[in-house]
A = this chain, B = another copy of it.
Amino acid sequence: MTTTFQAVDPTTGAGFGDAIAEMSKAEVDSLITKAAATAKDFAATSPAKRAAILRAIAAQVEASREKLIEVTMRETALPNGRLTGELSRTVFQLEQFAKMVESGTHYQAVIDLPDANWVPAARPDIRKANQALGLVGIFAASNFPFAFSVIGGDSASALAAGCPVVVKAHPSHPNTCRIIHEAVVAGLVSEGISADAFGMAEGLNPEITHWIATAPAVTAIGFTGSGMVGKILIDICAKRANPIPVFAEMGSLNPVFFTPNVLSEKAVDLAKAAMDSALLGSGQFCTKPGILVIPSDATGDAFLTEVESYLATLAVAPLLNKGIADRFGSAISKLASAGGIKVLTGKPSDAGFGVTPTVFIVDWKDTKANHELLEEHFGPTTVIIRTDYSNFTAVASAMEGQLTTAVHATGADQISDLVDVLANRSGRVIMNGFPTAVAVTAAMQHGGQWPASSSQTTSVGLDSIYRFLRAVAHQNFRDDLLPPALQSANPWKISRSVNGEVSKGAL
Protein backbone atom coordinates (compact mmCIF):
# COMPACT_ATOMS: atom_id res chain seq x y z
CA MET A 1 0.00 0.00 0.00
CA THR A 2 1.47 3.32 -1.05
CA THR A 3 0.21 6.37 0.80
CA THR A 4 0.87 9.92 -0.22
CA PHE A 5 0.97 13.32 1.43
CA GLN A 6 0.89 16.93 0.30
CA ALA A 7 2.33 20.26 1.28
CA VAL A 8 0.09 22.39 3.49
CA ASP A 9 -0.36 26.15 3.21
CA PRO A 10 0.06 27.54 6.76
CA THR A 11 -2.09 30.56 5.92
CA THR A 12 -5.13 28.39 5.24
CA GLY A 13 -4.32 24.94 6.65
CA ALA A 14 -5.24 23.46 3.25
CA GLY A 15 -3.14 20.99 1.29
CA PHE A 16 -1.79 21.87 -2.15
CA GLY A 17 0.54 20.67 -4.86
CA ASP A 18 1.76 17.25 -5.93
CA ALA A 19 0.88 14.09 -4.07
CA ILE A 20 4.22 12.84 -2.63
CA ALA A 21 4.59 9.12 -2.02
CA GLU A 22 5.61 7.86 1.41
CA MET A 23 8.82 5.92 1.00
CA SER A 24 8.85 2.31 2.11
CA LYS A 25 11.57 0.74 4.23
CA ALA A 26 12.95 -0.97 1.14
CA GLU A 27 13.21 2.37 -0.64
CA VAL A 28 14.97 4.06 2.27
CA ASP A 29 17.31 1.08 2.69
CA SER A 30 18.13 1.30 -0.98
CA LEU A 31 19.01 5.01 -0.69
CA ILE A 32 21.31 4.14 2.21
CA THR A 33 22.99 1.24 0.44
CA LYS A 34 23.57 3.28 -2.69
CA ALA A 35 24.91 6.28 -0.78
CA ALA A 36 27.25 4.10 1.30
CA ALA A 37 28.63 2.59 -1.90
CA THR A 38 29.89 6.04 -2.93
CA ALA A 39 31.69 6.70 0.38
CA LYS A 40 35.17 5.57 -0.56
CA ASP A 41 35.38 7.42 -3.88
CA PHE A 42 33.75 10.55 -2.50
CA ALA A 43 36.11 10.65 0.49
CA ALA A 44 39.07 10.31 -1.89
CA THR A 45 38.24 13.46 -3.88
CA SER A 46 41.03 16.02 -3.75
CA PRO A 47 40.58 19.37 -1.97
CA ALA A 48 40.24 21.12 -5.33
CA LYS A 49 37.66 18.64 -6.54
CA ARG A 50 35.65 18.73 -3.32
CA ALA A 51 35.64 22.54 -3.44
CA ALA A 52 34.46 22.43 -7.05
CA ILE A 53 31.62 20.09 -6.04
CA LEU A 54 30.51 22.39 -3.22
CA ARG A 55 30.62 25.40 -5.55
CA ALA A 56 28.67 23.53 -8.22
CA ILE A 57 25.99 22.71 -5.66
CA ALA A 58 25.93 26.33 -4.49
CA ALA A 59 25.52 27.49 -8.09
CA GLN A 60 22.65 25.07 -8.71
CA VAL A 61 20.88 26.16 -5.54
CA GLU A 62 21.40 29.81 -6.49
CA ALA A 63 20.01 29.06 -9.96
CA SER A 64 16.84 27.72 -8.34
CA ARG A 65 16.35 30.85 -6.24
CA GLU A 66 13.29 32.24 -7.98
CA LYS A 67 11.39 28.97 -8.00
CA LEU A 68 12.49 28.20 -4.44
CA ILE A 69 11.40 31.48 -2.90
CA GLU A 70 7.97 31.14 -4.46
CA VAL A 71 7.42 27.54 -3.37
CA THR A 72 8.98 27.98 0.06
CA MET A 73 6.93 31.08 0.87
CA ARG A 74 3.78 29.13 0.16
CA GLU A 75 4.91 26.10 2.19
CA THR A 76 6.21 28.00 5.24
CA ALA A 77 4.43 31.38 5.22
CA LEU A 78 7.83 32.92 5.95
CA PRO A 79 8.27 36.34 4.32
CA ASN A 80 10.25 36.92 1.15
CA GLY A 81 12.95 39.02 2.86
CA ARG A 82 13.67 36.36 5.44
CA LEU A 83 13.80 33.56 2.88
CA THR A 84 15.95 35.56 0.49
CA GLY A 85 18.49 36.20 3.25
CA GLU A 86 18.37 32.61 4.42
CA LEU A 87 18.97 31.30 0.92
CA SER A 88 21.95 33.64 0.53
CA ARG A 89 23.34 32.33 3.80
CA THR A 90 22.87 28.76 2.61
CA VAL A 91 24.71 29.39 -0.64
CA PHE A 92 27.39 31.40 1.17
CA GLN A 93 27.92 28.59 3.64
CA LEU A 94 28.60 26.12 0.81
CA GLU A 95 31.09 28.58 -0.67
CA GLN A 96 32.80 29.07 2.68
CA PHE A 97 33.19 25.33 3.08
CA ALA A 98 34.59 25.15 -0.45
CA LYS A 99 37.23 27.71 0.55
CA MET A 100 38.07 25.81 3.72
CA VAL A 101 38.30 22.44 2.01
CA GLU A 102 40.41 23.88 -0.80
CA SER A 103 42.98 25.07 1.74
CA GLY A 104 43.15 21.60 3.25
CA THR A 105 43.13 22.93 6.83
CA HIS A 106 40.38 20.47 7.72
CA TYR A 107 42.84 17.59 7.35
CA GLN A 108 44.70 18.97 10.39
CA ALA A 109 47.71 17.09 9.04
CA VAL A 110 50.49 16.51 11.57
CA ILE A 111 53.74 14.84 10.64
CA ASP A 112 56.26 13.79 13.27
CA LEU A 113 59.40 12.53 11.60
CA PRO A 114 61.48 9.77 13.21
CA ASP A 115 63.54 10.85 16.21
CA ALA A 116 66.08 8.47 17.69
CA ASN A 117 66.34 10.57 20.84
CA TRP A 118 62.64 10.69 21.66
CA VAL A 119 61.62 9.75 25.23
CA PRO A 120 61.24 7.07 26.50
CA ALA A 121 62.07 5.35 23.21
CA ALA A 122 63.01 6.28 19.65
CA ARG A 123 60.03 7.80 17.82
CA PRO A 124 58.91 6.25 14.54
CA ASP A 125 57.59 8.21 11.56
CA ILE A 126 54.00 9.07 12.51
CA ARG A 127 51.67 11.06 10.29
CA LYS A 128 48.12 11.92 11.20
CA ALA A 129 45.31 13.42 9.13
CA ASN A 130 41.55 13.57 9.37
CA GLN A 131 39.44 11.36 7.17
CA ALA A 132 35.72 11.24 6.44
CA LEU A 133 33.59 9.19 8.84
CA GLY A 134 31.45 7.68 6.07
CA LEU A 135 27.76 7.96 5.28
CA VAL A 136 25.97 10.57 7.42
CA GLY A 137 22.24 10.55 8.15
CA ILE A 138 20.80 14.05 8.37
CA PHE A 139 17.44 15.28 9.59
CA ALA A 140 16.09 18.49 8.12
CA ALA A 141 14.50 21.08 10.42
CA SER A 142 11.14 22.72 9.73
CA ASN A 143 12.07 26.22 10.84
CA PHE A 144 14.97 26.90 8.48
CA PRO A 145 13.78 25.51 5.13
CA PHE A 146 17.14 26.38 3.56
CA ALA A 147 19.83 26.91 6.21
CA PHE A 148 19.05 23.79 8.29
CA SER A 149 17.19 21.72 5.77
CA VAL A 150 18.22 19.49 2.86
CA ILE A 151 21.45 21.36 2.02
CA GLY A 152 21.71 23.30 5.27
CA GLY A 153 24.68 23.45 7.62
CA ASP A 154 24.59 19.78 8.56
CA SER A 155 24.59 18.51 4.96
CA ALA A 156 27.07 21.14 3.77
CA SER A 157 29.56 20.24 6.50
CA ALA A 158 29.13 16.50 5.89
CA LEU A 159 29.74 16.87 2.15
CA ALA A 160 32.68 19.18 2.85
CA ALA A 161 34.10 16.49 5.12
CA GLY A 162 33.85 14.00 2.25
CA CYS A 163 30.85 12.10 3.58
CA PRO A 164 27.91 11.03 1.43
CA VAL A 165 24.54 11.95 2.89
CA VAL A 166 21.07 10.52 3.28
CA VAL A 167 18.77 13.32 4.39
CA LYS A 168 15.25 13.01 5.67
CA ALA A 169 13.20 15.70 3.94
CA HIS A 170 10.99 17.75 6.26
CA PRO A 171 7.33 17.12 5.41
CA SER A 172 6.56 20.70 6.45
CA HIS A 173 8.19 21.94 3.20
CA PRO A 174 8.33 18.89 0.96
CA ASN A 175 8.44 20.70 -2.40
CA THR A 176 11.24 22.97 -1.19
CA CYS A 177 13.12 19.80 -0.25
CA ARG A 178 12.59 18.36 -3.72
CA ILE A 179 13.85 21.45 -5.53
CA ILE A 180 16.91 21.62 -3.28
CA HIS A 181 17.57 17.92 -3.68
CA GLU A 182 17.45 18.25 -7.45
CA ALA A 183 19.87 21.16 -7.27
CA VAL A 184 22.33 19.23 -5.08
CA VAL A 185 22.20 16.20 -7.34
CA ALA A 186 22.68 18.38 -10.42
CA GLY A 187 25.72 19.93 -8.79
CA LEU A 188 27.19 16.54 -7.91
CA VAL A 189 26.55 15.08 -11.34
CA SER A 190 28.00 18.14 -13.09
CA GLU A 191 31.26 17.31 -11.30
CA GLY A 192 31.11 13.63 -12.19
CA ILE A 193 29.96 12.45 -8.76
CA SER A 194 27.20 9.85 -8.53
CA ALA A 195 23.74 11.14 -7.65
CA ASP A 196 23.66 8.28 -5.15
CA ALA A 197 26.00 10.25 -2.89
CA PHE A 198 23.09 12.41 -1.77
CA GLY A 199 19.89 10.47 -1.11
CA MET A 200 16.66 11.98 0.21
CA ALA A 201 13.99 10.07 2.15
CA GLU A 202 10.43 11.39 1.98
CA GLY A 203 7.41 10.72 4.13
CA LEU A 204 5.40 11.52 7.24
CA ASN A 205 6.09 8.10 8.74
CA PRO A 206 8.14 8.55 11.93
CA GLU A 207 9.65 5.10 11.31
CA ILE A 208 11.86 6.68 8.63
CA THR A 209 13.89 8.22 11.43
CA HIS A 210 14.46 4.78 12.95
CA TRP A 211 15.35 3.23 9.60
CA ILE A 212 18.08 5.79 9.02
CA ALA A 213 19.40 5.80 12.59
CA THR A 214 19.62 2.01 12.82
CA ALA A 215 21.10 1.35 9.36
CA PRO A 216 24.52 -0.31 9.85
CA ALA A 217 26.02 1.73 6.99
CA VAL A 218 25.23 5.07 8.65
CA THR A 219 28.27 6.29 10.61
CA ALA A 220 26.96 9.50 12.21
CA ILE A 221 23.80 11.57 12.56
CA GLY A 222 23.35 15.30 12.13
CA PHE A 223 20.11 16.54 13.63
CA THR A 224 18.55 19.95 14.21
CA GLY A 225 15.16 19.95 15.90
CA SER A 226 13.35 19.33 19.13
CA GLY A 227 14.81 17.88 22.31
CA MET A 228 12.16 15.19 22.20
CA VAL A 229 13.21 13.80 18.81
CA GLY A 230 16.88 14.48 19.47
CA LYS A 231 16.79 12.36 22.62
CA ILE A 232 15.02 9.54 20.78
CA LEU A 233 17.78 9.57 18.14
CA ILE A 234 20.51 9.58 20.78
CA ASP A 235 18.88 6.64 22.47
CA ILE A 236 18.46 4.65 19.22
CA CYS A 237 22.06 5.25 18.20
CA ALA A 238 23.45 4.34 21.64
CA LYS A 239 21.68 0.99 21.45
CA ARG A 240 23.07 0.01 18.04
CA ALA A 241 25.52 -2.91 17.88
CA ASN A 242 28.02 -0.26 16.80
CA PRO A 243 26.93 2.99 18.46
CA ILE A 244 27.43 6.09 16.33
CA PRO A 245 27.66 9.76 17.30
CA VAL A 246 24.51 11.88 17.15
CA PHE A 247 25.30 15.55 16.66
CA ALA A 248 21.98 16.97 17.80
CA GLU A 249 21.12 20.64 18.16
CA MET A 250 17.98 20.51 20.26
CA GLY A 251 16.94 24.09 20.84
CA SER A 252 17.42 26.44 23.72
CA LEU A 253 15.92 29.12 25.96
CA ASN A 254 18.66 31.66 25.20
CA PRO A 255 18.17 33.78 28.33
CA VAL A 256 18.87 37.51 28.03
CA PHE A 257 19.73 39.53 31.14
CA PHE A 258 19.18 43.32 31.46
CA THR A 259 20.93 45.28 34.21
CA PRO A 260 19.22 48.22 35.94
CA ASN A 261 21.86 50.57 34.52
CA VAL A 262 21.20 49.62 30.93
CA LEU A 263 17.43 49.82 31.40
CA SER A 264 17.82 53.26 32.98
CA GLU A 265 19.45 54.35 29.72
CA LYS A 266 17.19 52.70 27.17
CA ALA A 267 14.34 50.60 28.56
CA VAL A 268 12.04 51.53 25.68
CA ASP A 269 14.46 50.63 22.90
CA LEU A 270 15.46 47.39 24.57
CA ALA A 271 11.86 46.35 25.22
CA LYS A 272 11.03 46.84 21.57
CA ALA A 273 14.17 45.05 20.41
CA ALA A 274 13.51 42.17 22.79
CA MET A 275 9.97 41.73 21.45
CA ASP A 276 11.19 41.95 17.85
CA SER A 277 13.78 39.26 18.57
CA ALA A 278 11.33 37.00 20.43
CA LEU A 279 8.69 37.25 17.68
CA LEU A 280 11.10 37.11 14.71
CA GLY A 281 10.04 34.38 12.30
CA SER A 282 6.99 33.93 14.57
CA GLY A 283 9.34 32.86 17.36
CA GLN A 284 10.41 29.77 15.47
CA PHE A 285 14.16 30.11 15.99
CA CYS A 286 16.41 27.90 18.06
CA THR A 287 18.01 31.18 19.11
CA LYS A 288 14.77 32.87 20.15
CA PRO A 289 15.19 34.65 23.49
CA GLY A 290 12.77 32.46 25.44
CA ILE A 291 13.65 34.07 28.77
CA LEU A 292 14.26 37.71 29.55
CA VAL A 293 15.58 38.46 33.04
CA ILE A 294 14.87 41.98 34.28
CA PRO A 295 15.28 43.70 37.64
CA SER A 296 12.32 43.92 40.02
CA ASP A 297 12.70 47.69 40.28
CA ALA A 298 11.51 50.81 38.50
CA THR A 299 13.79 50.18 35.50
CA GLY A 300 12.16 46.78 35.07
CA ASP A 301 8.73 48.43 35.36
CA ALA A 302 9.62 50.83 32.54
CA PHE A 303 10.72 47.88 30.38
CA LEU A 304 7.43 46.07 31.02
CA THR A 305 5.30 49.11 30.31
CA GLU A 306 6.88 49.36 26.89
CA VAL A 307 6.63 45.58 26.30
CA GLU A 308 2.90 45.77 27.00
CA SER A 309 2.15 48.67 24.69
CA TYR A 310 4.48 47.58 21.90
CA LEU A 311 3.36 43.94 21.98
CA ALA A 312 -0.27 45.03 21.63
CA THR A 313 0.61 46.38 18.18
CA LEU A 314 2.31 43.19 16.95
CA ALA A 315 0.97 40.26 14.98
CA VAL A 316 2.94 37.34 13.58
CA ALA A 317 2.78 35.21 10.47
CA PRO A 318 1.15 31.79 10.87
CA LEU A 319 3.26 28.99 12.35
CA LEU A 320 4.98 26.48 10.09
CA ASN A 321 2.66 23.54 10.54
CA LYS A 322 -0.28 22.16 12.48
CA GLY A 323 1.87 20.28 14.96
CA ILE A 324 3.77 23.40 15.95
CA ALA A 325 0.56 25.45 16.16
CA ASP A 326 -1.17 22.83 18.31
CA ARG A 327 1.78 22.47 20.68
CA PHE A 328 2.07 26.25 20.96
CA GLY A 329 -1.63 26.56 21.77
CA SER A 330 -1.56 23.98 24.52
CA ALA A 331 1.68 25.30 26.03
CA ILE A 332 0.26 28.83 26.16
CA SER A 333 -2.97 27.67 27.83
CA LYS A 334 -1.07 25.67 30.40
CA LEU A 335 1.36 28.47 31.25
CA ALA A 336 -1.38 31.09 31.40
CA SER A 337 -3.22 29.13 34.04
CA ALA A 338 -0.21 28.88 36.40
CA GLY A 339 -0.14 30.84 39.65
CA GLY A 340 1.60 34.22 39.89
CA ILE A 341 1.72 34.71 36.13
CA LYS A 342 0.82 37.88 34.28
CA VAL A 343 -0.08 37.41 30.61
CA LEU A 344 0.38 40.01 27.85
CA THR A 345 -0.75 39.49 24.30
CA GLY A 346 -0.24 40.90 20.83
CA LYS A 347 -2.68 40.96 17.94
CA PRO A 348 -4.52 37.71 17.36
CA SER A 349 -4.55 35.92 14.05
CA ASP A 350 -6.52 32.77 13.50
CA ALA A 351 -6.44 32.04 9.78
CA GLY A 352 -4.65 28.76 9.04
CA PHE A 353 -1.97 28.16 11.66
CA GLY A 354 -2.16 31.72 12.96
CA VAL A 355 -1.68 32.37 16.68
CA THR A 356 -1.51 35.27 19.12
CA PRO A 357 1.90 36.41 20.39
CA THR A 358 1.87 35.89 24.15
CA VAL A 359 4.32 37.02 26.79
CA PHE A 360 4.43 35.82 30.40
CA ILE A 361 5.73 37.77 33.35
CA VAL A 362 6.66 36.00 36.54
CA ASP A 363 8.73 36.49 39.67
CA TRP A 364 11.80 34.23 39.83
CA LYS A 365 10.54 32.68 43.06
CA ASP A 366 7.32 31.60 41.30
CA THR A 367 9.17 29.74 38.55
CA LYS A 368 9.98 26.89 40.92
CA ALA A 369 6.38 25.77 41.11
CA ASN A 370 6.11 25.58 37.33
CA HIS A 371 9.13 24.08 35.64
CA GLU A 372 7.51 24.51 32.20
CA LEU A 373 8.36 28.20 32.47
CA LEU A 374 12.00 27.20 32.09
CA GLU A 375 11.44 24.98 29.05
CA GLU A 376 11.54 25.89 25.39
CA HIS A 377 8.18 26.76 23.83
CA PHE A 378 8.48 27.04 20.07
CA GLY A 379 6.53 29.99 18.67
CA PRO A 380 5.89 33.67 19.45
CA THR A 381 6.22 33.66 23.22
CA THR A 382 8.79 34.51 25.85
CA VAL A 383 8.90 34.48 29.64
CA ILE A 384 10.01 37.63 31.42
CA ILE A 385 11.48 36.82 34.81
CA ARG A 386 11.70 39.52 37.46
CA THR A 387 14.22 39.33 40.25
CA ASP A 388 16.53 41.52 42.26
CA TYR A 389 19.64 42.48 40.28
CA SER A 390 21.78 41.02 43.06
CA ASN A 391 20.21 37.68 42.19
CA PHE A 392 21.12 37.61 38.48
CA THR A 393 24.17 35.34 38.82
CA ALA A 394 22.19 32.88 40.94
CA VAL A 395 19.42 32.82 38.32
CA ALA A 396 21.97 32.17 35.57
CA SER A 397 23.58 29.42 37.67
CA ALA A 398 20.23 27.67 38.03
CA MET A 399 19.81 27.37 34.28
CA GLU A 400 20.67 24.38 32.09
CA GLY A 401 22.96 24.44 29.06
CA GLN A 402 22.02 26.87 26.29
CA LEU A 403 22.96 27.58 22.70
CA THR A 404 23.34 31.26 23.60
CA THR A 405 23.12 33.60 26.55
CA ALA A 406 23.15 37.39 26.49
CA VAL A 407 23.57 40.33 28.79
CA HIS A 408 22.71 43.96 28.27
CA ALA A 409 24.84 46.18 30.49
CA THR A 410 26.72 49.45 30.63
CA GLY A 411 30.42 50.06 31.13
CA ALA A 412 29.69 50.75 34.79
CA ASP A 413 28.27 47.27 35.46
CA GLN A 414 30.44 44.82 37.38
CA ILE A 415 29.27 41.64 35.73
CA SER A 416 32.30 39.39 35.41
CA ASP A 417 30.80 36.72 37.69
CA LEU A 418 27.59 36.72 35.66
CA VAL A 419 29.54 36.51 32.39
CA ASP A 420 31.58 33.58 33.75
CA VAL A 421 28.41 31.67 34.56
CA LEU A 422 26.89 32.48 31.16
CA ALA A 423 30.04 31.28 29.37
CA ASN A 424 29.88 28.12 31.44
CA ARG A 425 26.27 27.53 30.41
CA SER A 426 26.35 28.31 26.71
CA GLY A 427 28.22 28.05 23.43
CA ARG A 428 27.90 31.77 22.63
CA VAL A 429 27.64 34.75 24.97
CA ILE A 430 26.40 38.00 23.52
CA MET A 431 26.90 41.45 24.92
CA ASN A 432 24.34 44.18 24.29
CA GLY A 433 22.66 42.22 21.55
CA PHE A 434 20.06 39.55 20.89
CA PRO A 435 20.68 35.94 19.93
CA THR A 436 18.54 35.71 16.80
CA ALA A 437 21.29 36.04 14.22
CA VAL A 438 23.99 33.44 13.73
CA ALA A 439 26.85 34.48 11.49
CA VAL A 440 28.55 31.72 9.51
CA THR A 441 32.16 32.49 10.46
CA ALA A 442 35.16 30.60 11.73
CA ALA A 443 34.62 32.00 15.25
CA MET A 444 30.96 31.02 15.48
CA GLN A 445 29.96 28.47 18.09
CA HIS A 446 26.45 27.03 18.08
CA GLY A 447 26.08 24.34 20.67
CA GLY A 448 28.23 22.56 23.17
CA GLN A 449 26.14 22.19 26.31
CA TRP A 450 23.41 19.72 27.21
CA PRO A 451 20.42 19.86 26.72
CA ALA A 452 20.88 22.45 23.95
CA SER A 453 23.21 20.09 22.16
CA SER A 454 24.43 16.54 22.47
CA SER A 455 28.15 17.10 22.09
CA GLN A 456 30.95 19.62 22.58
CA THR A 457 30.82 20.54 18.88
CA THR A 458 29.17 23.34 16.91
CA SER A 459 26.49 22.94 14.24
CA VAL A 460 27.08 26.36 12.66
CA GLY A 461 30.31 27.81 11.33
CA LEU A 462 33.27 26.18 9.67
CA ASP A 463 34.25 24.06 12.66
CA SER A 464 31.06 22.04 12.20
CA ILE A 465 33.01 20.02 9.61
CA TYR A 466 34.98 18.34 12.39
CA ARG A 467 31.87 16.46 13.52
CA PHE A 468 32.19 14.27 10.46
CA LEU A 469 35.93 13.66 10.47
CA ARG A 470 38.20 11.52 12.61
CA ALA A 471 41.96 11.36 12.79
CA VAL A 472 43.93 8.36 11.56
CA ALA A 473 47.66 7.99 12.16
CA HIS A 474 49.90 6.16 9.71
CA GLN A 475 53.13 4.82 11.18
CA ASN A 476 56.28 4.09 9.15
CA PHE A 477 54.33 4.00 5.93
CA ARG A 478 55.46 3.47 2.38
CA ASP A 479 54.88 6.86 0.77
CA ASP A 480 52.67 5.63 -2.09
CA LEU A 481 50.31 3.99 0.40
CA LEU A 482 49.80 7.15 2.46
CA PRO A 483 46.78 9.39 1.90
CA PRO A 484 47.89 12.29 -0.34
CA ALA A 485 47.51 14.71 2.58
CA LEU A 486 50.40 12.91 4.30
CA GLN A 487 52.67 12.03 1.40
CA SER A 488 56.17 13.50 1.56
CA ALA A 489 55.75 15.46 -1.67
CA ASN A 490 52.64 17.20 -0.26
CA PRO A 491 50.88 16.89 -3.64
CA TRP A 492 47.91 18.99 -2.52
CA LYS A 493 50.17 21.77 -1.16
CA ILE A 494 48.21 21.89 2.07
CA SER A 495 49.33 23.38 5.33
CA ARG A 496 50.79 20.73 7.65
CA SER A 497 52.50 20.73 11.02
CA VAL A 498 55.87 19.04 10.50
CA ASN A 499 57.80 18.39 13.72
CA GLY A 500 55.77 21.21 15.25
CA GLU A 501 56.41 23.77 12.48
CA VAL A 502 53.72 24.78 9.98
CA SER A 503 54.70 24.11 6.37
CA LYS A 504 53.04 24.02 2.97
CA GLY A 505 56.06 22.49 1.32
CA ALA A 506 57.28 18.98 0.60
CA LEU A 507 59.31 17.14 3.22
Contacts and interface: CB of A to CB of B under 8 A. Distances in A.
A367 interface: no
Contact of A445 (B427, B450, B456, B473): B473
Interface string A102-132: 0000000011100000111101101110010
A400 interface: yes
A477 B473 CA distance: 39
> Residue among A416, A423, A451 with the most chain B CB within 10 A?
A423
Interface in A239-264: 242-245
A316 to B, nearest CB: 21
Contact of A473 (B244, B427, B470): B427
Contact of A439 (B121, B442, B445): B121
B445 A120 contact: no
B121 A85 contact: yes
A369 interface: no
22 contacts: A86-B120, A89-B119, A92-B120, A112-B441, A121-B437, A123-B439, A124-B433, A126-B428, A128-B442, A134-B424, A235-B238, A238-B238, A242-B400, A423-B472, A423-B483, A428-B473, A429-B472, A429-B475, A445-B471, A449-B470, A456-B471, A502-B502
A431 interface: yes
A430 B475 contact: yes
Nearest to A435: B475
A481 to B, nearest CB: 5
Interface of A: 40, 85-86, 88-89, 92, 110-112, 118-121, 123-124, 126-128, 131, 133-134, 234-235, 238, 242-245, 400-401, 409, 411, 415-416, 419-420, 423-424, 426-433, 437, 439, 441-445, 448-451, 454-456, 458, 463, 469-478, 481, 483, 497, 500, 502
B243 A450 contact: yes
A471 B450 contact: no
Contacts of A502: 502
Contacts of A88: 119-120
